[in-house]
């Protein structure tokens, strides 16, 4: 368990989470959040009086050797499957340390986590909780050779109904449709709607996206910097049935909008350089739909 000095009464507290895993509870004037040291995994972020912004599977594992299904899985140093290696890298199943906590004058809380790594690599994660949730993953490399890697916030958003939710901001962007063998497609649509399993990797795509949720009556804004890739994923019915850590019906209430640098957008770091991935998540009520 972390040194008690990192606790801040009324703002930052340590607790035992699911599976006996240590977690940090964050309270601010606007919101609450929860972060497990396992994977430095943000598992909950909710604004006062609003439904949680992040989805968490009721069937998720909470085990030192397994990823948590929901919230914001940290993806590093690779995205996707690797023969004989853990899918999406090992950052999300590594025990991170909490190095620093702070509460700012307005009440926003900052937490800085560090991942145990080899000596020429520093991987730090700064989480700021307030009216918004701001995430920053910084990889600093001091080695002698260039290195390549992928990063991604594999964020699971809670939605009211996948049949009514849409995603805007990606019109005209280029994506690889992973369900059609990574077929390259330019997306003409103003908004993405969902009628089946969806897995799209938008590349060279720095755009801010919005998740429009008429069922929960809100719009979630996903603004990012240092990110050229956006991944949109819903497993739908058949894939959900094949996944033991997600309920058969949970696809109806989740949507992944992932911000990172993957596939052709991978990082290539030269000696003594740094890569930083940032995302800022916020929500606002949808204007009342006046009945026609
Ligand atoms: O981001 C979409 C994806 O790559 C899908 O292929 C699906 O496998 C999802 O990630 C979840 O991967 P995981 O390793 O967490 O089961």
The per-residue pLDDT of the chain, averaged, comes to 96
Q: Indicate which atom in ligand 1 lies nearest the CA of residue 67.
A: 15
- Cα 257 to Cα 146: distance, rounded to the nearest angstrom: 30
Q: Is 258 a catalytic residue?
A: yes
> For residue 88, how far is its CA from the centre of ligand 1 (angstroms)?
8
Whether the pLDDT of residue 75 is over 90: the answer is yes
Torsion angle, CA of 218/70/156/281, rounded to 10 degrees?
A: 70
- Name the closest-CA residue to atom 6, ligand 1: 80
Half-sphere exposure of 165 (CA within 13 A, CB side): 26
Picking from 179, 191, 24, the residue whose alpha carbon sits closest to that of residue 110 is 24
> For residue 80, how far is its CA from the centre of ligand 1 (angstroms)?
6
Whether the pLDDT of residue 115 is over 90: the answer is yes
115 contacts: CB under 8 Å, gap ≥ 6: 40, 76, 91, 94, 96, 123, 124, 125
Q: How many CB atoms lie within 10 A of CB 78?
A: 21
Only one residue has tokens 């009945």, namely: 291
Ligand 1 binding pocket mutation candidate from 56, 69, 76, 199 (most atoms within 8 A of CB)? 199
Ligand 1 binding pocket mutation candidate from 65, 154, 198 (most atoms within 8 A of CB)? 154
Q: Say what the pLDDT of residue 4 is.
A: 55
Q: Say what the pLDDT of residue 2 is.
A: 52
Picking from 236, 237, 275, the residue whose alpha carbon sits closest to that of residue 256 is 236
95 contacts: CB under 8 Å, gap ≥ 6: 37, 38, 64, 116
- Cα 152 to Cα 137: distance, rounded to the nearest angstrom: 9
Q: What is the mean pLDDT of residues 54-83?
A: 98
- Cα 140 to Cα 149: distance, rounded to the nearest angstrom: 12
Give the active site residue among 210, 250, 258, 267: 258
Give the active site residue among 38, 154, 210, 267: 154
96 contacts: CB under 8 Å, gap ≥ 6: 37, 38, 39, 40, 113, 114, 115, 116, 125
Q: Is 11 a catalytic residue?
A: no
Whether the pLDDT of residue 288 is over 90: the answer is no
* Position 1 confidence tier, pLDDT thresholds 50, 70, 90: low
Q: Say what the pLDDT of residue 292 is.
A: 53
- The model's pLDDT over 218-256, given as tens digits with 9 standing for 90+, comes to 999 999 999 999 999 999 999 999 999 999 999 999 999
Q: Indicate which atom in ligand 1 lies nearest the CA of residue 79.
A: 4
Q: What is the mean pLDDT of residues 11-25?
A: 98
- Percent of the chain, pLDDT > 90? 95
Q: Say what the pLDDT of residue 233 is.
A: 98
84 contacts: CB under 8 Å, gap ≥ 6: none
Ligand 1 binding pocket mutation candidate from 63, 87, 240, 250 (most atoms within 8 A of CB)? 87
- Cα 193 to Cα 190: distance, rounded to the nearest angstrom: 10
Q: What is the mean pLDDT of residues 256-266?
A: 98
> For residue 147, how far is its CA from the centre of ligand 1 (angstroms)?
24
Residues with Cβ within 6 A of ligand 1? 67, 80, 87-88, 154, 199, 231, 233, 256, 258
- Percent of the chain, pLDDT > 70? 97
- The model's pLDDT over 170-189, given as tens digits with 9 standing for 90+, comes to 999 999 999 999 899 998 88
> For residue 235, how far is its CA from the centre of ligand 1 (angstroms)?
9
């Amino acid at each position: 368990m972390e040194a008690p000095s990192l606790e801040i009464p009324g703002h930052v507290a340590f607790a035992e989470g699911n599976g006996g895993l240590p977690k940090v509870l964050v309270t601010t004037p606007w919101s609450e959040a929860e972060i497990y040291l396992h994977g430095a995994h943000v598992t909950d972020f909710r604004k006062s009086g609003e439904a949680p912004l992040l989805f968490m599977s009721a069937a998720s594992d909470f085990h030192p050797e397994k990823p948590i299904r929901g919230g914001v899985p940290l993806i590093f140093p690779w995205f996707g499957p690797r023969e004989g290696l853990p899918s999406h890298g090992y950052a999300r199943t590594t025990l991170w340390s909490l190095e620093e906590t702070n509460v700012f004058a307005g009440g926003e809380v900052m937490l800085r986590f560090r991942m145990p790594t080899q000596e020429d690599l520093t991987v730090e994660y700064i989480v700021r909780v307030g009216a918004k949730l701001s995430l920053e993953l910084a990889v600093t490399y001091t080695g002698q050779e260039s290195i390549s890697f992928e990063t991604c916030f594999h964020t699971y958003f809670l939605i009211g109904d996948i049949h009514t939710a849409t995603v805007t901001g990606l019109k005209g962007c280029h994506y690889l449709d992973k369900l059609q063998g990574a077929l390259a497609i330019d997306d003409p649509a103003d908004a993405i709607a969902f009628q089946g399993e969806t897995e799209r990797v938008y590349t060279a795509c720095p755009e801010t996206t919005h998740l429009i949720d008429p069922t929960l009556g809100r719009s979630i804004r996903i603004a990012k910097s240092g990110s050229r890739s956006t991944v949109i994923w819903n497993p739908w019915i058949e894939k959900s049935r094949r996944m033991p850590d997600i309920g058969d019906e949970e696809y109806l209430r989740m949507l992944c909008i992932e911000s990172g640098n993957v596939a052709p957008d991978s990082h290539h770091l030269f000696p003594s350089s740094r890569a930083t991935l940032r995302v800022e998540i916020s929500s606002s009520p949808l204007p009342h739909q006046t009945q026609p």
